[in-house]
Amino acid sequence: MEHILKTMGLFVFLALLFVAIGYLIGAFFIGDWVLGTLLFLGFAAVMNIGVYFFSHKIILRMYNAQIIEEHDNPRLFNLVKEISYQADMPMPKVAIVPMNVPNAFATGRNQDNAVVAATQALLHRLNDDELKGVLAHEMAHIKNRDMLVMSIAATIAGAIALMARMVWFQMFFSRRRINPIFLVVMVLAPIGAIMIKMAISRKREYYADEEGAKISKNPNALADALEKLQADATRNPIKRGDPATSSLFIVNPFKSSGFVNLFSTHPPMEKRVERLREMATDFSYL
């Protein structure tokens, strides 16, 4: 319950930031702050509806993920089926991504439309216990509706960034004198929105680690898998794909630097592993 309240608090702040930007744009450029606010709320609503219904198809196509049946890969398919039973959840669709970096992600707006995807390299890199831990982590994302949560957060943050770019474009061709406070808000708002989105993403990863360990009943196996995946992603980050989708993956597969890590979609790997090791010594979690 606590993690739900924290996430909702971040969402409320993100929504208020969005409304505030719409208010400022309406007041300064349209002359009607109510109209400005309503216009951008409507814009965000349309974007969220599109994300809700079509984001999973876009993601699967982006990474050329292929939906499989049991005969295509019995090991992967049956592990997902086993985890679904243990988690008391509907069996999701299963997909394989033709990628030489071991990783996994889940997508879909709800449990009935969910897809669990694993890269080809993941199937070769992990043993059954480790693979089960990773798949349980992804099933936990489905159970907690994290794909929908993160899609909405990303949409609102993206809309704020788009609004800021529109304002800068308008100011470039306008001779109106702009209040310095307005300029500061236009600079800081997109940064703040991105940081809030990342904070939501990091919290959801912690919860998925914990829930995945409970489902698989093997926190150490998930911790071992995360260490392997992090090492491989550091040595061989993927070259294609959109870094904006990094929050989907269990480990960020894209190359990152010290500055970029400030906006990381994932918690520090050392902390994730530490928490899982602690769970392994506390059987009350399992």
Range of the domain at 176: 2-285
Confidence grade of residue 171 (pLDDT, cut at 50, 70, 90): low
> What value does the mean pLDDT of the chain take?
81
- For 232-262, the pLDDT digits (tens) are 999 988 877 767 677 789 998 887 654 445 5
Report the SS3 class of residue 31: coil
Dist CA 170 CA 188 (whole Å)? 18
Name the pairing type of β-strands 93-97 and 115-119. parallel
Q: What is the pLDDT of residue 62?
A: 86
Alpha helices by DSSP H, the chain: 2-25, 33-62, 74-87, 120-125, 128-143, 146-173, 180-216, 219-235, 269-280
Q: What is the mean pLDDT of residues 59-78?
A: 94
Task: Choose, from 69, 70, 130, 138, the residue flagged as catalytic.
Answer: 138
Sheet holding 104-107, edge to edge: 66-68, 93-97, 115-119, 104-107
**Inter-residue contact 189 to 162 (CB < 8 Å):** no
Q: What is the pLDDT of residue 259?
A: 46
What global pTM score does this model have? 0.78
Given a cut of 70, is residue 185 above it in pLDDT?
no
Confidence grade of residue 5 (pLDDT, cut at 50, 70, 90): low
Q: What is the pLDDT of residue 141?
A: 92
- For 102-147, the pLDDT digits (tens) are 999 998 878 888 999 999 999 999 999 999 999 999 999 999 888 7
Confidence grade of residue 277 (pLDDT, cut at 50, 70, 90): very high
CA atoms within 13 A on the CB side of 19: 7
Lowest mean per-residue pLDDT among 96-110, 192-206, 211-225, 233-247:
192-206
Residue 178 carries which side chain, given as an amino acid letter? I
Given a cut of 50, is residue 210 above it in pLDDT?
yes
Dist CA 237 CA 231 (whole Å)? 10
Q: What is the mean pLDDT of residues 66-91?
A: 96
Domain tally for the chain?
A: 1
Given a cut of 80, is residue 32 above it in pLDDT?
no
More confident residue, 59 or 258: 59
Active site residue 70: no
Q: Which range is most confident: 8-17, 28-37, 117-126?
A: 117-126
Lowest mean per-residue pLDDT among 3-17, 92-106, 145-159:
3-17
The burial of 101, by beta-carbon neighbours within 10 Å (0-12 exposed, 13-18 middle, 19 or more buried), is given as: buried
Residue 259 carries which side chain, given as an amino acid letter? F
The burial of 143, by beta-carbon neighbours within 10 Å (0-12 exposed, 13-18 middle, 19 or more buried), is given as: buried
Q: What is the mean pLDDT of residues 76-90?
A: 96
